Chains A and B, each alone.
Chain A
Amino acid sequence: MLSLQHISKYYQVGGNKNFVVNDISLDVDEGEFVSIMGPSGSGKSTLLNIIGMLDEPNDGYHYFVNQPVHQLKEKQRAALYKQYIGFVFQAYHLIDELTVYENIETPLIYQDVKGSERKAMVADMLDRFQIVGKKDLFPAQLSGGQQQLVGIARALIAKPKLLLADEPTGNLNSKQGEEIMELFRKLNKEDGVTIIQVTHSEKNAEYGSRIINLLDGRVESSRKF
């Protein structure tokens, strides 16, 4: 599904290049569930952002569904991104001014989905995550776990092929975290959504089918289950 070849990301500090991601090559197939681990500053989030096209590498080749991302123009990249990728954040990043319903609906608006169709899709999603009763509440009125649930629902509403999650359980207690992980597993198994998550927790990482360990911007180890 995606292929990174010799990807590097660095900051120029004085005369030196300060590498955040250093010559990483990585292939992810459709249907995989990858966990990226590593200590603070090892480049996990940057790598995830590069995969999600939120950040651009300085060097290397990046292919996504057989398209050379490193050659695409901003607009084409955005189109590709919109069609295939969903993002989940540690801090949920819901829009405070919008209700649960509207938060979930927003990506569809940007994809020019018609109003009636949007209604049906959001209703479906609310149903599936069992948050119909909460649809008119604002994020501030929800618990952390519920907010992350909305965050995931929002990421999934446009039916992405790839779900990127940056420490999705980082702000949650262990029980809430477990529920989210179960949800991820189910999405991966039953719906065939490819998932790449960044996590600090060994336990959560083991939900994945592959664990990649990063250290100082390089892949230190990679193991498949």
Chain B
Amino acid sequence: MIRNYLKTAWRNLVQNKTTSFISMAGLAVGICSFLLLATYLTNELRYDRFNTNAGRISRLTFSYKSADDKEVNTTALTPTAPVPVFKQQLADIEDGVRVVNYSNMRAAVVQFGDKLFKEKKMLVADASFFKIFTFKFLSGNPATALANSTSIVLTASTAEKYFGDEDAMGKILKVDQKNSMIVTGVIEDVPEYSQIKFDMMGSYAMMPRSLNLAWSSSNDYSYILLKPGANREAVAKQMTDYINKDRPASGGKMWFGLEPLTRVHLYSTAGKGLEPSGNIKYVYILGFVAIVLLVLACVNFLNLVTARSAERAKEIGVRKVMGAMRGQLFVQFIAEAGIITLFSLIAGVLLLSALLPVFSNFTGQQLSLQTWNPEWLILALVTLFVVVTLLAGTYPSLYLSAFKPIVTLKGGSSMQAGGNMLRKSLVVFQFVVSVFFIISTIIAGNQLRYIQSLNTGINRDQVLVLDLGGMGYNQIESFKGEIGQQTGVLGSTASYDSPVNVGGGYSINTAEGKNADFNLSVTAIPVEKSFTKTLGIKLIAGNDLDLGDEQQVMDTSADKRRYSFILNEAAVKGMGWKPEQAIGKKIGLNGRMGTIKAVAKDFNFASLHEEITPIVMFPEYDWFGKLLVKTSGKNTANTIAAIASKWHKFYPNSPFEYHFLDQEFDAMYKTDQRTGGILTAFTVVTILISCLGLFGLAVFSTRQRIKEIGIRKVLGAGVASIAGLISFDFIKLVLIAIVISSPLAWFAMNKWLQDFAFRVSIQWWVFVLAGGMAALIAFLTVGYQSIKAALSNPVKSLRSE
């Protein structure tokens, strides 16, 4: 019996090539999209779970709020003391490790023989690192690999970069020209889905600060391994109690938190971590998109099958007359749906494996079929097969198998009322989704363009960023002098950090006219005199830093040293002053005493997701990580070549590397842009699938109305009026969809925009544009069918038998 069903199903498919192709293509695209997103989400969700101890590891966060702060500051950076102290004091802690991003500010310069590389991913960690985290050792002993201050562990590809095929163990690498490190282990490359990524891992003992246990200066990432069964919250509370008891904060509050390792990537709100984190919101959004796409494809399939019911009606009638029971017919149609699903699934998986590399590229994630656990993939495919077959096949099967043979065999219309409403609702549903996506894509695009074009108060245009490999003041000055003479270089300035994403928590703890316990948390950045000029930061009061200010801080005797500060508007406001009042006021920034020399107009020194907070710029010369070179933008390649040749003259032992400030800025919105891109791609898919559905309904409905059309033609209706009549029926559905969709999209996108402190407002024209697009697309889809129906010969349609 099954063979007979399959045979009929197969011949039906072959005979109706167009509709079969449309329904299979729609389903295949839907399945492929679903699997693409599922692969992406699987990757996001498997972050860090490869660690055997994943369930027991937490990342330590540190929160503080000084008396004059408006908000709590939470950071994932912690001081040196907590890990060793708590490990000793708290019974529930099994182990702990401090991890430092050694190459955070500037890449480590690593040398082996004549091989010289800048390493941007060098970490250092306590010896317990490889006991707590699970990284596979190819050689070396995890327990002792980081035991000495000279130990270094390399990943396989790093080892190959330096030593080729030779055994890396025991070889000596020179790091930053001062540390000789002995390779004590080689591990497999760190998986892309680890929040701790590195190419080389040194020992924490190499850091000078490892010698003292401090509770201030947060620069380490700390991970705690709890004993089995220990309560995370309780341990965090013990830590907080401990610090508040022994080190009462002056008027402020501080506390510790423990984030489960597996939640850090998607849920952490503790600011900058070792790696840029994902966002659980996007996981939900994309998960929702995946399911919606799959449902859309099924709905589409369902619509197309019922649309073809007129052709199947006779067959159903005959089968019933020959003794087929409803149940048998139901099974037959489900089997047909199953065959189409199977083909679509195969096509979808083929499409998936073809598109995964492209998608990986697009999303910046390493995605492949290997992202899946094989058993899970098979389970997912089988589930998908069953779910799609049932979802897409049940309704048509019930609908078709219920046909009354008498009605269908009399050759009359086989359409039974009732199904119509459902089909129309489904098309409305499809278009609600499409319009929703169109609106969302337009708004997301607007916001992303807005970020690009927003005047952030810093002129990022054509600014080159060079890593300064620990140069001194004089060296920097002469290098700047040299490159300043190159054509195309308009100016240059050194600073501690990149101006588009400044980290560094300081506080203003003394100030003229304020109480002794005054404390305002600020961001601060050591700069030099040309900083504001080179970056186009506007001053609204006071004068820019000059050579005198620089020389003042160079004074070797600490008590004669005087600082000149530039505060931004937000900082001045935080102090309770007007810009003009602030000039000349004496303040102290973590012990640096000096006066306010200028007030800068607010500029964005962090992600546009955040409001502009107080920032202080001050000259200080031991801490320059970056050199910013403003170029004219004309003949940039030549300019860069000229700078490079000067660099090699000054720093024969350090490779020349650069990037543009704009790139750095864009990188901060990678997640947003990625989501925007994904949204756009799937909007196209949604529209495509919805159009297939609408096309199906158009075919169905024109066939149903063929008699009406015939009569109208006999009565003298023209082609245009009939085509208009039919088209309008569908446009009506799209209009309904627009009305339903617009508020939903407005609500959702408003919510998304809340994440940006700097955002576009949602304009009414977005809805008009999206609606217009949907209506136009719908019209083009339906138009052909309408015109075809309008052109048909009434003699044919009115002949009854």
A residues apposed to B, CB below 8 Å: 49, 54-55, 75, 78, 81-82, 87, 89, 91, 93-98, 102, 105-107, 109-112, 154, 158
Contacts and interface: CB of A to CB of B under 8 A. Distances in A.
Interface in B295-342: 314-315, 317-319, 321-325, 328
Contacts of B12: 97
Contacts of A98: 7-8, 11
B15 A87 contact: no
B405 interface: yes
Contacts of B321: 54, 87, 93
Lowest 4 CB-CB distances: which A-B pairs, in order?
A82-B323, A110-B323, A97-B11, A107-B322
17 contacts: A55-B406, A78-B325, A81-B323, A89-B409, A93-B317, A93-B321, A93-B409, A94-B318, A95-B8, A95-B319, A96-B315, A97-B11, A102-B7, A106-B322, A107-B322, A110-B319, A111-B323
B4 interface: yes
Given A54-B405, A55-B406, A109 B4 contact: yes
Contact of B318 (A55, A93, A105): A93
Contacts of A106: 4, 319, 322
B474 to A, nearest CB: 90
Contacts of A107: 322-323
Nearest to A83: B323
B318 A78 contact: no
B715 interface: no
B411 interface: yes
A125 to B, nearest CB: 14
B134 to A, nearest CB: 58
Contacts of B516: none
Contacts of B317: 93
A52 B409 CA distance: 14
B319 to A, nearest CB: 7
A109 B1 contact: yes
Contacts of A110: 319, 322-325, 328
Contacts of B314: 93
A206 to B, nearest CB: 25
Band of interface residues on B: 20 to 34
A7 to B, nearest CB: 16
A98 B1 CA distance: 14
Contacts of A109: 1, 4
Contacts of A105: 4
Nearest to A89: B409
Nearest to B324: A110
A54 B315 CA distance: 15
A55 B405 CA distance: 9
A154 B11 CA distance: 20
Nearest to B5: A109
Nearest to B8: A97
Contacts of B328: 110
B455 to A, nearest CB: 68
A97 B15 contact: yes
Contact of B315 (A55, A87, A95, A102): A95
A136 to B, nearest CB: 13
Interface centre among B315, B317, B323, B405 (most CB of A within 10 A): B323
Contacts of B4: 102, 105-106, 109
A97 B315 contact: yes
A96 B406 CA distance: 19
Contacts of A93: 314, 317-318, 321, 409
Contacts of B1: 109, 112
Nearest to B322: A107
A77 B325 CA distance: 11
Contacts of A82: 323
B609 to A, nearest CB: 60
Contacts of B324: 110
Nearest to A94: B318
Contacts of B325: 75, 78, 110
Interface in B533-563: none
Nearest to A170: B801
A163 to B, nearest CB: 13
Nearest to B408: A93
A107 B322 CA distance: 5
A114 to B, nearest CB: 11
A98 B322 CA distance: 14
A96 to B, nearest CB: 7
Contacts of A97: 8, 11-12, 15, 315
Nearest to A75: B325
A111 B315 CA distance: 18
Interface in B2-19: 4, 7-8, 11-12, 15
B406 A54 contact: yes
B350 to A, nearest CB: 28
Nearest to A171: B801
Contacts of A78: 323, 325
A49 B323 CA distance: 14
Nearest to B801: A91
A49 B317 CA distance: 13
Interface string B341-384: 00000000000000000000000000000000000000000000
A53 B512 CA distance: 104
B30 to A, nearest CB: 27
A82 B319 CA distance: 12
Nearest to A86: B322
Contacts of A94: 318
A154 B322 contact: yes
A112 B2 CA distance: 12
A109 B7 CA distance: 13
A105 B405 CA distance: 19
Nearest to B405: A54
